[in-house]
Amino acid sequence: MTLTQQRKLKTILVGIASWTIALLLFFPIFWMFITSFKTELQAISVPPQLFFEPTLENFTIVQERSDYLKHAWNSVVTSFGATILALIIAIPSAYAMAFFPGKRTKDILLWMLSTKMLPAVGVLVPIYILSRDYGLLDTQLGLVIIFTLMNLPIIVWMLFSYFKDLPKEILEAARMDGASPWGEMTKVVLPLSVGGIASTGLLSIVLCWNEAFWSLNLTASEAAPLTAMIASYSSPEGLFWAKLSAASTLACAPIVVFGWFCQKQLVQGLTFGAVK
């Protein structure tokens, strides 16, 4: 075998190995997806059925049985609400730290990061009691507040790194033209970093959408987002795999697609810029 042939063979082998592993790891998701089009009987048939006549009835039953749309709406409101609120709070801070850094800026950034390290379970009791006392248990507003604070450090951190990469000359030019700091931010910085802000927001939406700890502990029937609603399918009475799969597919599909688009931001955001 010549060297090129050897190389080709190696590439083919690497391809086969990678595809096999990828398909194996993806299999549970694939299986959930196709199970959502089965009848309950087909879903638990032994041996498992790969080919069958697909049905859409699970999706309608899920809506009737557990009011899917209400919970989906809760997910939308809480993740988008918390993301927008966090962006509004974070943009001015990130702007100030990126363009007017002081002696303490680095310490403040690291301190913000450290708040993210506080385990949720350590403050479960007080947050639960505060929510109860202020009537925020099982409300969308309660979750929005928690999600906003939960993601604020990541959002400030990511925006800070975007703003810092903007060319300084443009800002100086604007300053020479007599722009105020406020004008600088709204007329120069924000338009230039629309992309960065959008992908930060996307990451925040993904994190809120999949958040399970607070959703499970602070909501019941009214404000439960999809993460908590799906958990109600864990009841041992009866097997509802097809319906569970239908509900899960609907709940996960948009976020998996979002995730594909924000891979890079995810790495940057979750590692706080340590890996780029």
Partner 1 sequence: MKRSITRLLMAPSVILLLVWMVVPLSMTIYFSSINYNLLYPGRNNFVGWMNFEFFVTDPGFWIAISNTLTLLLSVLIITVVLGVALSALIDKPFAGRNVVRVLLISPFFIMPTVNALIWKNMMMNPVYGIFAWISNSLGLEPIDWLSNYPLVSVIIMVSWQWLPFAILVFVTALQSQDTEQKEAAQMDGATGWHIFRYLTIPHLARPIAVVVMIETIFLLAVFAEIYVSTGGGPGYDSTNLAYLIYNQALLQYDVGVASAGGLFAVLLANIVAFFLIRAVGKNLTV
Is the Cβ of residue 139 or residue 215 nearer to partner 1 in the bound state? 215
> Site mask, partner 1, residues 214-253, x = CB under 8 A?
--xx--------xxx-xx-xx----x-x--xx--x--xx-
Those residues with Cβ within 8 angstroms of residue 77's Cβ, 6 or more apart along the chain or in another chain: 140, 144
Residue 11 binds partner 1, judged by CB under 8 A: yes
Task: Say if residues 154 and 207 touch (Cβ distance below 8 Å).
Answer: yes
Distance from C-alpha of 214 to C-alpha of 232, rounded to nearest angstrom: 15
> Interaction with partner 1 in 25-64: which residues (CB under 8 A)?
25-26, 28-29, 31-32, 35, 44-48
Residue 191 binds partner 1, judged by CB under 8 A: no
Binds partner 1 by CB under 8 A, chosen from 72, 82, 109, 197: 109
Question: Shortest gap between Cβ of 161 and partner 1 (angstroms)?
Answer: 10
> Interaction with partner 1 in 128-187: which residues (CB under 8 A)?
128-130, 149, 152-153, 156, 181
**Span from 51-59, 60-68, 127-135, 195-203 in contact with partner 1 (CB under 8 A):** 127-135
> Site mask, partner 1, residues 68-87, x = CB under 8 A?
--------------------
Supply the angle between the helices 241-261 and 263-270 in degrees, to the nearest 10.
80
Q: What is the DSSP string of 122-141?
A: GGHHHHHHHHHHTT-TT-HH
Is the Cβ of residue 56 or residue 253 nearer to partner 1 in the bound state? 253
Task: Say if residues 227 and 212 touch (Cβ distance below 8 Å).
Answer: yes
Tokens describing residue 134 = 């202020």
Is the Cβ of residue 55 or residue 105 nearer to partner 1 in the bound state? 105
The one-letter amino acid at 65: R
Distance from C-alpha of 71 to C-alpha of 224, rounded to nearest angstrom: 6
